Amino acid sequence: MTKKDILKIIKEENVHFFRLQFVDVNGFMKNVAIPRSQIEKALDGEMMFDGSSIDGFARINESDMYLKPDYATFVILPWRNKNGVATARIICDVAKTDGSPFAGCPRVNLKRVLAEARKLGYTMNVGTECEFFLFNRDVAGLSTTATTDAAGYFSVDPEDSGTDCRREIIETLEQMGFEIEASHHEVARGQHEVNFKYADALTCADNTVTFKWVVKTIARKYDLHATFMPKPVFGINGSGMHTNQSLFNLDGSNAFFDPKGALQLSKVAYQYIAGIAEHARGFAAVTNPLVNSYKRLVPGYEAPVYVAWSASNRSALLRIPASRGLSTRVEVRCPDPACNPYLAFAMMLNAGLDGIKNQLTPPKSVDVNIYKLTPNQMKRAKIESMPGSLKEALAELKKSPIARATLGDHIFEKYLIGKEKEWDSFRTTVTDWELKNYLDLY
């Protein structure tokens, strides 16, 4: 799409308001809304904002930044048409005052890592499976963890009370250009999943943050609260963001597929698997970024706790779905939907590429239910566990040989500072659990 195409659509659709969007280090979507009179200026990348007000961006003495729009992300917002007046959005990269890309912009960083992969002869395709909960709001409009939904995995009406909301989410996404492949109720009450078609890594990251925004927006219309919190309710399954990924050669062929290879996987695929397994503990703080993330990553709730791979075993961290040919891919099951997809994709890509560059060999596949193995069996099989807390994950991130190079100095340092503050706040907070268990007893 060109600037001329966008201006034509703006005129035809009577767009009066324009949102310039970007994401911060934690993956939260930010935007500035401008009137129609400023749209051409915005499309030319001349809109400025105060970067010092964005968590993890710039210091106050270097706060002026520009928003450089990516024309391919322009879309009309279906729910914002009022009395024939439309609103559109476009996703932007962040630039410094001299016009150079800002290293602290997660989108800019992912583009840098993808460019490095291209020098090696690869492009990356990604498809995310982003689970979420729909909860009721109370009489004051505040979020709760209550639901009238009595459904389970793949349930139908009337048990699946979120059907209408999920249908409008899908209709809205399709109007915005998403190709929806499937939607269904998940295992836990109130839990849902909508699957959309894979894309190149940058587009998929854009689509993932857009998807989360749309889900929350439409849920609000139904007086529901949509949350992508990994583990909102004790004792039931949490929400994951299984991330299917593949490398393609520059000629358009799938670099993971070899019809003559074991499991029809190429040498590159096995090296990529080995790289992911080698660095999984080191990238966990990015793919699973919250204190709460590690309350999902526990045995017993279908969460991938163990660093292993298999062609079919869903208790392993890495799974190889059955499709072959152009659909040959690796499913990494640990990420959760609270992650910043731009950073998570960059970390997983560089982990896999490290396996290719160093010709790593993956461990033997584990085709049994890992949850039923004894500690001694796990030890003999050399199966490691993912970090058990954000604190442990941050320590692994610091030790990672690829993390700083993947995230860049700015994001690596700002991310660690923010997450260590988060852990310290959690560590020093007196919780309801402590009051319930200790207040009267002691």
What is the helix (H) or strand (E) element at residue 200, kind and residue range? Answer: strand 199-200
314 is catalytic: yes
User: How far is residue 114's CA from residue 303's CA, in Å, rounded to a whole number?
Assistant: 29
Q: Indicate the DSSP class of residue 55.
A: T
Which of 250, 249, 247 has its CA nearest to residue 269?
A: 247
Catalytic residue among 24, 93, 131, 206: 131
Among the listed residues 5, 44, 46, 50, the single catalytic one is: 50
Q: Is the peptide bond before 158 cis (omega within 30 degrees of 0)?
A: yes
Torsion angle of C-alpha atoms 97, 100, 105, 110, degrees rounded to 10: 170
Q: Is 64 left (phi over 0), alpha (psi -120 to 50) or beta?
A: beta
Q: Is 62 a catalytic residue?
A: no
Active site residue 186: yes
3-state class (DSSP) for residue 400 = coil
Which entry of 149, 160, 186, 278 is annotated as an active-site residue? 186
Whether 131 is catalytic is yes
Q: Which of 167, 314, 380, 427 is catalytic?
A: 314
Q: Which of 19, 225, 242, 329 is catalytic?
A: 242
Give the integer Cα–Cα distance in Å for 174 and 207.
Answer: 12
The residues near 252 (Cβ < 8 Å, ≥ 6 apart) are none
Q: Are 89 and 18 in contact (CB under 8 A)?
A: yes
* Options 160, 258, 278, 331, the catalytic residue: 331
Q: Is 50 a catalytic site residue?
A: yes
Of the residues 129, 206, 354, 396, only one is catalytic, namely 129
Instruction: Please confirm, yes or no, whether 193 is among the known catalytic residues.
Output: yes
Residue-wise burial string across 80-106, b where 16 or more C-beta atoms lie within 10 A, e elsewhere: eeeeeebbbbbbbbbbbeeeebbebbb
The residue type of 157 is: D
Catalytic position from the list 193, 206, 258, 336 = 193
Reply yes or no on whether 59 is catalytic: no
Taking every pair of Cα atoms in the chain, the longest distance, rounded to a whole number of angstroms, is 71
Q: Is 171 an active-site residue?
A: no
Say how far apart CA 269 and CA 264 lie, in whole Å: 10
Residues counted in the chain: 442
Catalytic residue among 333, 336, 354, 396: 333
For the chain, the straight-line distance linking the first and the last C-alpha, in angstroms and rounded, comes to 67
- Give the SS3 label for residue 292: coil
384 catalytic residue (yes or no): no
Residue type, 190: G
Pair of tokens at residue 245: 């990924």
Active-site residue set: 50, 129, 131, 186, 193, 242, 314, 331, 333
